[in-house]
Amino acid sequence: MSDRRWDEQVAYYRRRAGEYDATAYGALPDAGDRIGALVDRLRPSGDVLEIACGTGMWTRHLAVHARTLTVIDSAPEMVTLARRRAPGATFLVADVLDWTPPRRFDTVFFAFWLSHVPTSAFDRFWSVVRAALSEDGRVIVVDDQPTAADEETYVAGSAEVVERRLEDGSRHRLIKLPRGPGELTARLGDLGWQVGIERVAPDWLICQARPTP
């Protein structure tokens, strides 16, 4: 993916920060309870790293289980909102693809982020994840199931780039590539990960991965 497209995606989320909760989770009944129950079941323990925290909808629940919580997002507006929900966490504003983890973590978590990573950056992103993870650590991924693509407007000639409109009427292009269990298992297996995947009806997918011994 070109730097221009990546920058445009970041700009979209910076501009969307103020309306994100209403547009991303407002249509989901009891979204906070659903997120909390799922995090309680997954139990992301130890020193936890969250990538692409958004407004902190997941961050506040991660903080309940984590010994320490480090959070990264490329949009400072998102970080400002997330910090209010988890004031005890350590927040960093950085582009994860150009970021060097300062330490290793027991759990690396990201929700609804992997589908924004284009095919061209997939291996690079997972190399950052691997550098951040302790030898016996665990990666937890929550994302859309592939059917989410049916709700997007894809740019002609692209299977990755979508166009979205914000409440102010502005139009933006970004990556949206929901991956199914088969694709994730194969791609991550090739990169040296052991993967377990489950569908959370009707719309979410959970992937847990550990480095292959």
Mind listing the pLDDT tens digit of every residue in the chain (213 residues)? 457 888 999 999 999 999 998 888 866 668 888 999 999 999 999 999 999 999 999 999 999 999 999 999 999 999 999 999 999 999 999 999 999 999 999 999 999 999 999 999 999 999 999 999 999 999 999 999 999 999 999 999 999 999 999 999 999 999 999 999 999 999 999 999 999 999 997 899 999 999 998
CA distances from residue 129 to 33, 123, 192 in whole angstroms, order as listed: 28, 10, 12
Supply the angle between the helices 3-16 and 76-85 in degrees, to the nearest 10.
40
Contact between residue 207 and residue 141 where contact means Cβ atoms under 8 Å apart: yes
CATH number 3.40.462.10 is the correct assignment for the domain at 3-211: no
Pairing of strands 133-144, 90-93: unpaired
Residue position matching structure tokens 């933006």? 172
pTM, two decimal places: 0.95
> At 18, which amino acid appears?
G
Name the nearest CA neighbour of 102 among 75, 79, 136, 68.
68
Name 28's Cβ contacts closer than 8 Å, sequence gap at least 6.
34
